[in-house]
Structure 1
Amino acid sequence: MKIAYSPCPNDTFVFHAWAYGLIPGAPELDVLYADIDVTNRLAAEGTGPEVLKISYAALPWVLKDYALLPCGGALGRGCGPLVLTKGEVSGMADPSFLKGRRVAVPSDRSTAYLLFRLWAAQNVPGGVGEIIVMPFHEIMPAVRDGLIDAGLVIHEARFTYPSYGLSMLTDLGSWWESDTGTPIPLGAIIARRSLNLEAIAGWARASVEYAWAHPEASREYVMQHAQEMDPKVAQQHIDLYVNEFTANLGESGYGAVKTLFERAAQEGLVPQLDYAELLK
């Protein structure tokens, strides 16, 4: 079975057991390691593998071919994207600083960017200026070097941005949680509707549970793909993004996804979505 997910520690931690044939009855995996922008595009084009990790923000455009699985993804609290600027934020802490500015984002169909647009609609009168899409690992150096005015960052950048001389203008996760009371939907696991979705969800959940039961087993695999990340940072990454919602979205998880899409649809950022489609 072909699957695509990122080389980030949370994904490799979650899928290690399945990728290494440690889940009884699960098919052998042919893994494509790809940035979320790539997997979003593959899913939208209908040319992707049977199972993919995509941004929740990309989900409304792929539900005809793919179904949302209730496990394996990233949704939680205290783990949202950050908007970063160069140097101290004193004098720039007002979000209106972004009016007319150049802002880099990791994907124009990422959950991070969707949250940023929802936040900016409330907090940046007149709107930001030019939006530039670039791989997320290039964003902080670009802000540091003055190539852009601000950057929207995700993943382990939460822990490493001070080393680039950057400061946080806003934590979009904190804003979202305080504004909605729900956790943040970030990355979704989807599978082709033509497949046995219940079985795939079971294998994915078993892989999550194996990872928790044997955390040392995946360590070499995680670090092999962690792009020279410090092991402590990799563990922080896992602790932040792999949680109860990874094993089962549950009522509160699905409710958070529904809230995200309802708000985004009100702003005209995603098409209107039949909530029942998420449960099919």
Structure 2
Amino acid sequence: MEISVGHTPDSDDAFMFYGMFTGKVPSPDFKVNHVIEDIEKLNQKATDPQLDVTAVSVHACAYIPGYTILRSGGSFGIGYGPIVTARGQMTIDEIKKCKIAIPGKMTSAFLLLQLMIGKFDYVEMNFSDIPEAVKSGKVDAGLVIHETQLSYAQEGNVKILDVGEWWDKTTNGLPVPLGINVMKTDLGMDTIHKFDKYLQASIEYGLDNLEDAIEYAMQYSRGKPRDLIEKFVKMYVNKVTVNMGDAGEESIRRVFEMAKEKDLVPDFELSIAIK
């Protein structure tokens, strides 16, 4: 079966798909054509289902009823996650009043920050442009995702809020639900389950062949040094990535319960693949 698979130009996604896309983990069931897009573009594509399988933000699940969440391939922070940066420290009241650059309205980071501080003034931009926009004063603060969570100090900014830490404390240690992979529901649960296992095998291959998988992921390093990319990959390719388990599933359900209470997402039915 030939299927289209979308993932982001990010090192953690590349690491997860290393075994699959290089043919080192073959499948008798699937021939994969992969499409690489920024996460917010993949979120938007998924609202009008174009790809058979795609990476999306957890937040996007509220707007993509045609997809089922896979149990493997999720990006979950274990006590860490998105942060907010600025040129200098601010009080929480000052943060609530300032204009914050966000990496997209459908990103999980945006939803989590709204849950943390309430609705705020924002401007959307590509996540990689946010650090410079903060440093130059184009915006007052920036909601930072991906490897720039680790490099903000070198970029001349300071951390003023830790969204991942807030979620960890608020939920008594549930993993921070950020990105997941989804598959078209109409392909059938048997096919979805088979692909889920295929992706899981690819992730496990990367973890078992760490050096080679990191080297493959470096093509999406965006000029960051290898040690930073390796640290980032190890943060977001973890045991919950291999299989979300009960904790990962509960974190996804919890974020939407909280969001519905605050009218931040529409009412919808969540579809998660069988165990």
Per the shorter chain, which TM-score range?
over 0.9
Matched residue SS, 2:251: helix
> 5+ unaligned residues in a row in structure 2: which ranges?
none
Provide, for residues 124-159 of structure 1, a one-character-per-residue CA deviation record: whole Å limited to 9, x for no partner.
xxx53x310000010010000000000000111121
| 1:136 equivalenced with 2:123 (yes/no) | no
TM superposition shift of 1:216: 2.1
Partner of 2:103: 106
TM-score normalised over the length of structure 2? 0.93
Q: Distance in 1 between matches of 2:70 and 2:242?
A: 10
Shift of 1:272: 2.4
Which amino acid in 2 is paired with 1:119? M
Amino acid at match of 1:263: M
Q: CA deviation at 1:279?
A: 4.7
In the TM superposition, residue 108 of structure 1 has moved relative to its aligned partner by: 0.5
In structure 1, what residue type is equivalent to 2:47? A
Q: Choose which of 181, 185, 194 in structure 2 pairs with 1:189.
A: 181
1:260-271 correspondence to structure 2 within 5 Å: 260-271=255-266
| Alpha-carbon separation, structure 2, partners of 1:279 and 1:215 | 27
> Shift of the alpha carbon at 1:78?
2.9
Distance 1:42 1:274 in 2: 19
Q: Which amino acid aligns with 1:52?
A: T
- Cα distance between partner residues in 2 of 1:219 and 1:246: 16
The residue aligned with 1:124 is none
Question: For residues 215 and 171 of structure 2, what CA distance do their matches in structure 1 show?
Answer: 38
Equivalent residues of 1:23, 1:206 under 8 A apart: yes
- Aligned counterpart for 2:22 among listed residues 11, 20, 23: 20
Q: Which residue of 1 aligns with 2:272?
A: 278
Of 108, 115, 120, which residue of structure 2 is paired with 1:118? 115
For the residues of structure 1 that align with 2:48 and 2:27, how far apart are their CA atoms?
A: 30
For residue 40 of structure 2, what is the aligned residue in structure 1?
37
| Cα deviation 1:45-77 (Å, max 9, x = unaligned) | 222x111000000012113x1100000111131
Which residue of 2 is the match for residue 69 of structure 1? 70
Moved over 4 A (4+): none
Tell me whether 1:52 sits opposite 2:54 in the alignment: yes
Cα distance in 2, alignment partners of residues 54 and 217 from structure 1 = 26
Q: Does 1:79 align with 2:84?
A: no
CA contact under 8 A between 1:104 and 1:148: conserved in structure 2? yes
Match for residue 160 of structure 2?
A: 169
2:225 maps to 1:222:
no
